[in-house]
Structure 1
Amino acid sequence: MTAVEQSLPANNLQPKTIYLKDYQVPGYLIKTTDLRFEIYEGETIVSAMLHLYRNPAAQAPATQLTLHGADLELVSIALDGKILSADDYEFGEENITIFNTPAEFKLLTITKIKPEANTSLEGLYRSRTMYCTQCEAEGFRKITYYLDRPDVMSEFTTTVVADKKYPVLLSNGNLIDQGEADNDRHFATWHDPFKKPAYLFALVAGDLAHIEDSFTTCTGREVALKIFVEPKDLDKCEHAMTSLKNSMRWDEQVYGREYDLNIFMIVAVDDFNMGAMENKGLNIFNTSCVLAKPETTTDAGFQRVEGVVAHEYFHNWSGNRVTCRDWFQLSLKEGFTVYRDSEFSADLGSRTVKRVEDVSLLRTLQFAEDAGPMAHPIRPESYIEISNFYTMTIYEKGAEIIRMLATLLGKENFRKGTDLYFERHDGQAVTTEDFVAALADASGRDLSQFKRWYSQAGTPRLQVTDHYDENTQEYSLTIKQSCPPTPECQTKLPFHIPIAVGLLGSAGDLPLYLKDAEPDFETGDNTHQVLELTAAEQTFVFQRVQEKPVPSLLRGFSAPVKLQYGYSRADLIVLMSRDSDGFNRWEASQQLGLQAIYFAMSIYQRGENLAALQLDAELIAAYRSVLQDESLDKAMVAYMLSLPTEAYISELAEVVDVEAIHHSRSAIRKILARELRTEFMGIYTAYDHTQAYAATADAIAARSLKNVALGYLMLLGEDELIRACEQQYRTANNMTDVMAALTQLVNTDAPLAHTLAESALADFYQRWQDESLVVNQWLMVQASCALPNTLAKVKSLQQHPAYDGKNPNKIRALIASFCNGNAINFHADAGAGYAFLADQIIVLNTQNPQIASRLLTPLTKWKKYSPERQGLMKAELERIMAEPALSKDVFEVVSKSLA
């Protein structure tokens, strides 16, 4: 048979939109999938034997079969052993249709693919010394012809054959056979007894080393644990292994979920579009999410490894054993699993600190997404390219939806609901409605209104007013909810919103007696209440309130909303100093910081000199009291002293004034540095820089606070302090302290700092040039520098041997760090940053569409800027749109941004 090569659709045609309303069950299902991979240099031959049968759930019996396929060369195709002729099938844009198919049959296809030429990093591709796969969401169709959709689940057996220079051959499930093959080759056969969709398939072939451990499950089964890496990285795996064992233990204790295979494997890959992938029994990780040791990894890196290892392991049940019916249900597995990994990290560390970190991310990035052209519900109604919907909304807001359900149901009923969900749907591909139904059935709660969170996009806004009646000792809170229009819906129905509250009096928390309701004893006392807002406006009345209180609203950030209440500065200082809810103490510090920054912005925008700006003594005293409060976790002190970020302030603005935000925030920080110099010096000098590194919560907190103090002190520009910072860089025994010092040197505008920064950057690269992940940090710190001329530096670094324009980690470290995290420079120079970003996207559009579309985010926000900047940003979007070979990924984001 003549070889046929698939091609992409004509590039001048608008890509097709996929709608949830058009979902239909597949006409055929696949009972078993037997795969054989013959890996050669330059090409791989894939043989796929599929045992297919008509789906009894289909409305009418199927008489033809359409399989997905992209970038494949078909060698042969046979139905029940008979080779098909060209008249028996036809090719579509990304599929093949076989005519006159019986009720049950076996189909054998043999295809050729070229992993070495696969720069999209989807399907089977080569990364450095290994072959590996990434199949979520639709990468399996780049491997062989298949029903590449999540509701088609099959039992897989996979044989991998390769040259012996690739001694490690892995796939999903348990190893059932291995041995010699002809021509100095060998093979390994893996069998996964659990049905799975194609997106969970994985394969690895390479020259890898591994560490090994074991875990005894709650029923006494021994599970082998292996982490595979390039030999040079073998000393960076222990933290990931510890995190894996902690995750397995936690999932048994908290959710009753036991691991099911004989082996669990992780493979670290340097070229990877995402963070990691939960393929059944064989998780493939970006190296940045598995490798960690103190000399090369920051505290944030250690925490990321712990969180991502947990996330991918937890997917074994919330994503693998129970998966999503279609990609519109993506948050069913991702939102639930993000919530699970967040709770895991909170249990192992500081719950308040973890909550602050999660909410900071949500309010900066997801709220901006909700307000932009790509706004969508956590269960979207349509998409053009599913890869564009691996978003903050699906993941982070999705997790907040689960958190609200856990809050409304309570710990016991939420556990009953998840138990029922796993029991009812094990081995199935299901929907968000199935998940909510399990929780409702187990708890007896009516969650029908709550389901609007799944179908309505946008960030709800709560406007709160209060009234205190001294005579009746009643205190009322009136709460109005609204939600701005978003692309999918102009008018929103009221959400079901849990609002956790407390009331602060002169002696601390007041007891709560909500009229016509029982106290909430979930926390073990009667000073905390969860109000349930279900109408557009509701009033809640508290009785026996003996003094006018300061309300502590939305405790623990109990819902992903924007809250408006007229707190005075005195109220915020009370909350910051005395609230028993740690999250709201931090939130009060952020609001105080915002008030100060907004005042400074008003001065800047009037053209006045910020150098004369002063902060009142009461505010300084409030920050000083935080520094002196020994009851606070050091990490919380560090967070409370960190002003709201430029990105968060920009998200809050109707029109973003980049320069005013940057210079005003910097001015407030300098004032705090001057006024609290003694306290910051005390923190910094009291820290023992010689102590051995530990990745414990307490040790991380101490380093965090010490380095926050260093950041403030460096704003003073004093030679003595600059030399102390450089000394930290030279002598630190861990990458956290090295990077903290290097970052401050690079960002300090003083002659001595410039000199020492250049020397330190050269030294850093010389020392770490063979450690790819460390070099990424070197690129990032330079791209994020807020001093002038950073764009020129970024362009020069693109020519540096350290940079690889095809590696997603390098692209994120340099390009994304500059365009996403360096607003003052990205928006400078009359649009030079916009043109630079557009140039990168145009190159990546054909090379790696997923990465290209994700880089677009800064340009999608063009409507939030001044008319001059709007015109420049829009012009770059139009230049991208005019490209003759635009990928679906980029087309969707650009077209929606220009709409």
Structure 2
Amino acid sequence: MKTEVGLTAITIYLKDYQAPHYALEHTDLHVELLSDCAEVSATLRFKRAASAPKDAALTLLGADLELLSVAWNDQPLSADDWQWQGETWQFNGAGEGGVLSTKVRIYPDKNLALEGLYRSHGLYCTQCEAEGFRKITLFPDRPDVLSTFRTTIVADQASCPVLLSNGNCVASGKAENGRHFATWEDPHPKPSYLFALVAGDLAVLRDSFTTASGREVALEIYTAEVDQDKCDHAMRSLQTAMRWDEQRYGCEYDLDRYMIVAVSHFNMGAMENKGLNVFNTSCVLAHPATTTDAGFQRVEAVVAHEYFHNWSGNRVTCRDWFQLCLKEGFTVFRDQQFSAEQLSPVVQRLEDVAFLQTHQFAEDAGPLAHAVRPESFVEINNFYTLTIYEKGAEIARMLHTFLGAEGFRRGSDHYFKTYDGQAAIVEDFLSSMAIANGLAVDTFVCQWLRWYRQPGTPVVRVTSAWHADSKTLSLTLTQSQTSHAGVTPEPLPIPVRLGFIGETGELTTTLASVSASSHQLLLEKAEQTWHFSQVEQAPVLSLFRDFSAPVRVQAALSDEDLARLIRLDSNSFNRWSATYTLATREILALAEQYRRGDVRARQPQDSALAGALAAMWPALATSDPALASKLLQLPNLAYLSDQVSCYDPAALQRAREALLLQVLTPLEGSLQSILANEHMLTPYVYSAAAMAARSLEAVALDALARLQPEAAATMAQRWLSVAPHMSAEQAALTTLVHQQLPGADAAVQAFYARWQHEPLVLDQWFATQASAPHASARNTVEALLQHDDFDAAVPNRVRAVVGQFASNNPVAFHDMAGKGYDLLAQQLLLIDARNPQLASRLAGALGIWPKLDPARQACVLKTLDALLNESLSSDTRETLTRIRAAHD
């Protein structure tokens, strides 16, 4: 439920859930799009639920609506027949059920929040998740009310030649006064949050897909005419995802048509509305000339994610918003599986884990921590978080690890079959996994449900002892978790994959009469011990291979132990993980010396990391360039901030640069050889091998900027002048700007002159400057906010400047005088007045404040108090209040 400015915030609790008193059997909508408004007529057929009391009220929800008429079973109702308070509309005369007819007027042009039905740049569009449909018409706007829909759209044919909604188009034709109509029918019951409507002047790319059962599905991607040549990759990605979902999960598409619409003014990345997905342009448009490798990967992943929602979210939806992880976490896991199979499985996994450890772990440890399935919320829009998505995906992955691929597939088959057409809860998902695999349902559900209910990141402490005389090793794992908000932690089921690395490589060991080079354990008690035999030499433990559980690990591994893992571990993920751990250890030690003014910080120091990489990296660059490029990308400041008790961005940045120079210096010859290959300057190919080669050269150029700045500047400028694709251009521009190389200013101006007509490329141009890791970047950001092409009404542009500065430029944002916080506060007030969802997400950057030094903490608290004294939306106020509460 939304709480408007000035009203007391209302907390919604999971324990208070009550099923709706009336089922909605069918929804018929008639939407007239007029020059200055829209009129929506809704005919809703209700039936009282068998469990509802006979005097139950029919409850609907509405916000920002002008109510023109209401009728029950064709009999007009007066204002005396219902009660309307806040967003809740109630009618006490519904009896056993009947038909409610309403007509409302709304104003899409004035809808700057981009929630409900809005119009931007002449295009009508909807965003109804989570609670936007109530801004279109009076409706039981909750996810457990499912209905079939029939939607008729009427609009001016000249300005809106394309009229789209969910399902299949069953009628279309001309209307009076140059208008026309289209009627869409969705035969699959769905909640209102999956409703979509798009109307405007759009071009379309058409293709088709033949399902496993032989049905022909029409595929359509709608964009602005100028962007039509950027849709081929999205179309191929969609077709690949449809085939993959059939093969991996047995999920076949169920309508005659599947549509994607790309819009520039959109708060989300994309939305899985049934049969009509609305996408942010950044997640669907891709062309080698304008899109980087990362952009191509993002399009492929997001297209797959939204398509996979057709079953994990649409056919089986969530009963209430507390169950949001049920559709999002499960679907993120599915799109991660898909992406891993399309490109490099190892790189996909380490990128997913790096993102989780950098951002979600910090969320778990900060004032915005919450359970994967929270027990309460004030504003549901604030719970579209990394904990819901990324940690939720890790829980699904742990179940996959524990049950095995075949066992997990049996469980998902049972889940989809049993709950098809229903609104489910987390317990339904877990019980399906147990039933399909012959496990004790109550025990399994109770145990795994703890992952969904307990906030925070578990810590696993590792102790081991090798006995030379008996060649045995005892391993003890102890788990613990900090209490949050009165939740007393219980032991979690934690899958542990591990191996043993000897002096020359992997060892084969025996556990419970099973000899193997890798073992899988399940830590399910507070403390457990395992005994391994035939351990021929003292090993280094390769723990939590492929990140088998989202935990923090405390293990007494020396620098030499970590170096051995980097050189010899057969598990590529753990080689990267050991690199990250050792790099973090050395950066933090050096940063602390800088903080204390220790003279040793100015003296040459040995680096175990530099030694380990010098010994193996040149060969790895040839055998696995994708992994090699990742090993040189040391932990960023966002990750490092989560590893310290007092966060000093300047000291950490200085220490990180010093270590990076130590690591790169012995590799200079190899790096120059890599750059001599010039893979970056060959025509664009989207493949794992080509992307790995480009990634390695981009890393090499960045390295050269530290070793030979003038040579790097010359090479970067050459890339910019002859680049055959945006991956080369963006890598060159970023190196010039972020490393402050000669010619950077001229490159910025030339890039703008070339690409000012391409909004998504211009977003990159803004973001590159806003994220430059220099104290002077705040002045740059202030100038960018005044730039003619900065449009505060476009979420992508706001994220490119304000979001990049606040979240990805800690050196500039955490200015000692608090000027970075002041800049963010000024922007939050402006943004919140028109787009509360966007403002609330940007406000999360202030959540780091408890880790800052006292002077910076005082600046943040002053900023928070000033903001909370302003008139704010419920979205932003809740976020700021939770952040501020960390001090109380």
**Residue 532 of structure 1 corresponds to which residue in structure 2?**
522
Within 2, Cα distance between the matches of 1:135 and 1:211? 25
Within 1, Cα distance between the matches of 2:755 and 2:68? 46
**Residue 773 of structure 2 corresponds to which residue in structure 1?**
786
Does the CA contact (< 8 Å) of 2:618 and 2:667 recur in 1? no
**Residue 273 of structure 1 corresponds to which residue in structure 2?**
267
Are residues 655 and 445 of structure 1, via their aligned partners in 2, closer, same or farther at CA, if it must alter by over 3 Å?
farther
Does the CA contact (< 8 Å) of 2:621 and 2:628 recur in 1? no
**Residue 684 of structure 2 corresponds to which residue in structure 1?**
693
Q: CA deviation at 1:61?
A: 2.8
Within 2, Cα distance between the matches of 1:732 and 1:715? 22
**Residue 814 of structure 1 corresponds to which residue in structure 2?**
801
**Residue 659 of structure 2 corresponds to which residue in structure 1?**
668
Are residues 610 and 762 of structure 1, via their aligned partners in 2, closer, same or farther at CA, if it must alter by over 3 Å?
farther
Are residues 111 and 65 of structure 1, via their aligned partners in 2, closer, same or farther at CA, if it must alter by over 3 Å?
same
Q: CA deviation at 1:595?
A: 2.4
Pair 1:110 & 2:108 matched: no
Q: CA deviation at 1:793?
A: 1.1
**Residue 796 of structure 1 corresponds to which residue in structure 2?**
783
Does the CA contact (< 8 Å) of 1:215 and 1:223 recur in 2? yes
> 1:457-512: CA deviations, max 9, x gaps?
100001101100112211111111111232352x3111110011011123422223
Where does 1:84-483 land on structure 2 (aligned, <5 Å)? 84-164=77-157, 165-446=159-440, 447=444, 448-483=446-481
Q: Which amino acid aligns with 1:779?
A: F
Where does 1:559-578 land on structure 2 (aligned, <5 Å)? 559-578=549-568
Q: CA deviation at 1:606?
A: 2.7
Within 1, Cα distance between the matches of 2:55 and 2:196? 30
Within 2, Cα distance between the matches of 1:861 and 1:14? 27
Q: Which amino acid aligns with 1:119?
A: L
Q: CA deviation at 1:518?
A: 4.8
TM value normalised by structure 2: 0.97
Q: CA deviation at 1:618?
A: 5.4
**Residue 585 of structure 2 corresponds to which residue in structure 1?**
595
Q: What 5-or-longer segments of structure 1 have no aligned partner?
A: 1-6, 520-525
Are residues 727 and 304 of structure 1, via their aligned partners in 2, closer, same or farther at CA, if it must alter by over 3 Å?
same
> 1:545-594: CA deviations, max 9, x gaps?
11111110000000000011111122111111111111001011112212
Q: Structure 2 residue aligned with 1:757, among 744, 748, 755?
A: 744
Q: Structure 2 residue aligned with 1:486, among 484, 487, 492?
A: 484
Does the CA contact (< 8 Å) of 2:621 and 2:629 recur in 1? no
Pair 1:71 & 2:42 matched: no
Are residues 322 and 879 of structure 1, via their aligned partners in 2, closer, same or farther at CA, if it must alter by over 3 Å?
same
Q: CA deviation at 1:617?
A: 6.9
Within 1, Cα distance between the matches of 2:679 and 2:436? 52
Count of aligned pairs: 879
**Residue 658 of structure 1 corresponds to which residue in structure 2?**
649
Pair 1:711 & 2:705 matched: no
Q: Which moved more, 1:786-795 or 1:227-236?
A: 786-795
How high is the sequence identity, in percent, across the aligned residues?
48
Q: CA deviation at 1:718?
A: 3.2
* Counterpart secondary structure, 2:208: strand
**Residue 33 of structure 1 corresponds to which residue in structure 2?**
27
Within 2, Cα distance between the matches of 1:74 and 1:230? 34
* Counterpart secondary structure, 1:714: helix
Q: CA deviation at 1:827?
A: 0.6
Does the CA contact (< 8 Å) of 1:359 and 1:557 recur in 2? yes
* Counterpart secondary structure, 2:855: helix
* Counterpart secondary structure, 2:130: coil
Does the CA contact (< 8 Å) of 2:579 and 2:609 recur in 1? no
**Residue 860 of structure 1 corresponds to which residue in structure 2?**
847
Q: Structure 2 residue aligned with 1:623, among 613, 618, 626?
A: 613
Where does 1:861-876 land on structure 2 (aligned, <5 Å)? 861-876=848-863
* Counterpart secondary structure, 1:100: coil
Does the CA contact (< 8 Å) of 1:502 and 1:509 recur in 2? yes
Q: CA deviation at 1:102?
A: 2.1
Does the CA contact (< 8 Å) of 1:95 and 1:145 recur in 2? no
* Counterpart secondary structure, 1:108: strand
Within 2, Cα distance between the matches of 1:675 and 1:615? 14
Q: CA deviation at 1:869?
A: 1.0
Within 2, Cα distance between the matches of 1:298 and 1:547? 47
Does the CA contact (< 8 Å) of 1:611 and 1:667 recur in 2? no
Within 1, Cα distance between the matches of 2:762 and 2:484? 40
Are residues 829 and 42 of structure 1, via their aligned partners in 2, closer, same or farther at CA, if it must alter by over 3 Å?
farther
Are residues 10 and 390 of structure 1, via their aligned partners in 2, closer, same or farther at CA, if it must alter by over 3 Å?
closer
Q: Structure 2 residue aligned with 1:894, among 872, 880, 887?
A: 880
Q: Which amino acid aligns with 1:487?
A: A
Does the CA contact (< 8 Å) of 1:575 and 1:588 recur in 2? yes
Does the CA contact (< 8 Å) of 2:4 and 2:874 recur in 1? no
Does the CA contact (< 8 Å) of 2:542 and 2:569 recur in 1? yes
Within 2, Cα distance between the matches of 1:55 and 1:292? 48
Q: Which moved more, 1:319-328 or 1:607-616?
A: 607-616
> 1:432-468: CA deviations, max 9, x gaps?
0000000011112342312100110100001101100
Within 2, Cα distance between the matches of 1:70 and 1:187? 26
Q: CA deviation at 1:109?
A: 0.5
Are residues 834 and 545 of structure 1, via their aligned partners in 2, closer, same or farther at CA, if it must alter by over 3 Å?
same
Does the CA contact (< 8 Å) of 2:474 and 2:532 recur in 1? yes
Within 1, Cα distance between the matches of 2:618 and 2:580? 15
**Residue 826 of structure 2 corresponds to which residue in structure 1?**
839
**Residue 767 of structure 1 corresponds to which residue in structure 2?**
754
Q: CA deviation at 1:46?
A: 0.3
Pair 1:42 & 2:36 matched: yes
Q: CA deviation at 1:609?
A: 6.2
Q: What 5-or-longer segments of structure 2 have no aligned partner?
A: none
Q: CA deviation at 1:608?
A: 4.4
* Counterpart secondary structure, 1:626: helix
> 1:234-290: CA deviations, max 9, x gaps?
000000000000000000000000000000000001000000000000000000000
Q: Structure 2 residue aligned with 1:508, among 498, 505, 510?
A: 505
Q: Which runs of 4+ in 1 moved over 6 A?
A: none
Does the CA contact (< 8 Å) of 2:319 and 2:425 recur in 1? yes
Within 1, Cα distance between the matches of 2:621 and 2:707? 26
Q: Which amino acid aligns with 2:108?
A: P
**Residue 522 of structure 1 corresponds to which residue in structure 2?**
none
**Residue 639 of structure 2 corresponds to which residue in structure 1?**
648
**Residue 496 of structure 1 corresponds to which residue in structure 2?**
493
Q: Structure 2 residue aligned with 1:580, among 570, 573, 576?
A: 570
Within 2, Cα distance between the matches of 1:80 and 1:182? 29
Does the CA contact (< 8 Å) of 1:610 and 1:667 recur in 2? no
> 1:67-88: CA deviations, max 9, x gaps?
1000000010111111111111
* Cα RMSD, aligned residues only: 1.5
Q: CA deviation at 1:690?
A: 3.5
Within 1, Cα distance between the matches of 2:184 and 2:639? 48
Q: CA deviation at 1:10?
A: 6.1
Within 2, Cα distance between the matches of 1:111 and 1:771? 38
Are residues 27 and 637 of structure 1, via their aligned partners in 2, closer, same or farther at CA, if it must alter by over 3 Å?
same
